[in-house]
A and B are shown apart, each in its own frame.
Chain A
Amino acid sequence: MSDYTITIGTFIAIQAIVACGLNVIVGYAGQISLGHAAFFGIGAYASALLTTAGGFSFWGALPLVLFITGFIGLVLGLPSLRLKEDFLAITTIGINFIVVSVFLYVPFFGGALGIGGIPRVILFGTRLRGTPFLFLCLAFLAAVQLVSWLFTRSWSGLACFALREDEAAASSMGVSPVRFKLAAFILGTAMAGLGGALYAHFMRFISATDFGFPMSVMILSMVVLGGMGTLWGPVLGALVLGMLPEVFRPLTEYRMFLYAALLLLMIRFQPGGLLGESSLARQIFSRLKGGEKE
């Protein structure tokens, strides 16, 4: 594989991890978040600071990074308990802008210059770069998928589905809205934090602008395109949206136009996402499955 392919692949794997985190919040628990990149950024900055100024190794910093992002996710998830739908969406956009400006204007976070000199990840005494680092990201993606899968099968997951469908009915069945919405926020933001840590050690230089509102929209697009609330939807969404700009590269001028047109067509014809219910892929799959039975 060429360096170019590996770089694209690593980006896709990292974004898939972040998208899976957003899927827990938006797809499973039904809480709109348009500020997920903030947590991607918090994870990246936490890991970068701990490994440069703090002197930790990547592996020593990782549990702390997950804890920090999960905790901030818990605090910033509190508005979701009182706000719904569009109001929550606007609040999360606000959160994204605030986090970016904190990174940009507080000298501790390196200001406009960002943080550089982030060390590479060391595993079994070797510095991971290129293909090995891609495999590390894929391994983390697999772990994230496993956690997501276990979550959908747990009572907590079912409680989140119920809250997504009807909060009043769910709470009349013993589901505490506070507890389970915050659980979804903690899990989802910790996954974003993991993606952020990998991103920091991949780029080795980060700045606040990497984690702005456009990135949040991009991540949400991945989840919607692939299929909200499905296990593999966010991964497929990250794959498609990560590859499209590269595929359309010869058409430099029209690249973004095609990208937007594809999204619009998706929303028009497959609103549930590529892997969502009643999507083309699902129908074909169930027909094949039905054929086997006969």
Chain B
Amino acid sequence: MTEILLSLREVSMHFGGLKALDKVSFDLCDGEILGLIGPNGAGKTTCFNTVSGVYRPTSGEIRFGGIRTDGLPPHRMAALGIGRTFQIVRPFPNLSVLDNVIVAMGLPCYRGIIPSCGSWKRQKTRDGAMELLSKVGLDLQAPQKAGLLPLGNLRRLELARALALNPRLLLLDESFSGLRHEEVAMQEELVRKTRESGISILLIEHNMRVAMGLSDRLVVLDHGLKLAEGSPDEIRKNPEVIQAYLGKEGHSNVA
């Protein structure tokens, strides 16, 4: 049994009367790709936001690497080793693609007053960022303003930025949506390579083919509740999951 990197215990997130997450528990093992799927409004992104520190869960416990992390702000989570991408891409539009990555490389320098006075315009930093950019295939776009890039490139830029944090866990929020077929293949390849380099991945994905193909295990959410958990094959055959996605058999008048 491999070590557990991230664990959620009975995590609930309520917005007023809405239970976006209702006592959700699951574990993510070190080195694993765990897929988080579910219909629209199931609570996937809310789940991500509690893990990455954007929301403080209403109740429950989140542990990352053995440390209790629920309620810590996002910048602390980044320092602990969680990198993330956003469902709606959030580049720094007026900074160059290269500088976008360099922002993330400053992670160790943002915590202290003296290191944060150091210069970011060093050749070593630049080279490190260029290396990451060529890894995701954006080295030619390095001097361009990030705001000018098309969506496919922005998704890869977000991945490069998250990798620049040197994370132990990567949260990918629909990193494949809005991409062309060949871009999806490229992104899949990148995710696989990332895992091979020893980074665990938690991903939200709507594209079932991608989610099933990439994930070692899947967690299915529906209306804030955990519906099922298991290998892609188990999930594919699970009647409750099929029902959540397609509706109950015999009750529909369609078709």
Contacts and interface: CB of A to CB of B under 8 A. Distances in A.
B106 A174 contact: yes
B42 interface: no
Contacts of B55: none
Contact of A165 (B79, B92, B116, B120): B92
Nearest to A151: B117
A175 to B, nearest CB: 6
A168 B74 CA distance: 8
Nearest to B90: A169
A52 interface: no
Interface stretch (A88-96, A111-119, A155-163, A211-219): A155-163
B179 interface: no
Contacts of A168: 54, 74, 86, 90
A286 interface: no
A156 B110 CA distance: 7
A175 B103 contact: yes
A199 B122 CA distance: 38
B78 A158 contact: no
Interface in A5-28: none
B132 interface: no
A233 B118 CA distance: 24
A289 interface: no
Interface in A121-172: 153-159, 161-162, 165-166, 168-172
A171 B119 contact: no
B78 A155 contact: no
Given A153-B121, A154-B118, A175 B91 contact: no
A154 B122 CA distance: 10
Nearest to B158: A169
Interface residues of B, number: 35
Contacts of A156: 116-117
Q: Which of B78, B116, B161 has the most CB of A within 10 A?
A: B116
Contact of A154 (B54, B83, B104, B120): B120
A170 B52 contact: no
Interface stretch (B18-26, B94-102, B225-233): B94-102
B142 interface: no
Contacts of B54: 168
Q: Which of A153, A171, A173, A277 has the most CB of B within 10 A?
A: A173
Interface in A171-189: 171-177, 179-180
A153 B120 contact: yes
A161 B92 contact: yes
Given A154-B116, A155-B116, A156-B117, A172 B78 contact: yes
Given A155-B118, A165-B92, A165-B94, A173 B103 contact: yes
Interface in B48-102: 52, 54, 73-75, 77-79, 83-84, 86, 90-95, 99, 102
12 contacts: A155-B115, A158-B106, A159-B116, A161-B99, A166-B92, A168-B86, A170-B103, A172-B75, A172-B86, A175-B103, A175-B106, A176-B110
Interface of B: 52, 54, 73-75, 77-79, 83-84, 86, 90-95, 99, 102-104, 106-107, 109-111, 115-121, 161, 165
Given A172-B78, A175-B106, 13 more contacts: A154-B120, A155-B120, A158-B99, A158-B102, A159-B110, A168-B74, A169-B86, A171-B73, A172-B52, A173-B78, A174-B75, A174-B106, A174-B111
Closest 8 CB pairs of A and B: A165-B92, A174-B78, A169-B90, A174-B107, A155-B109, A171-B74, A173-B104, A162-B103
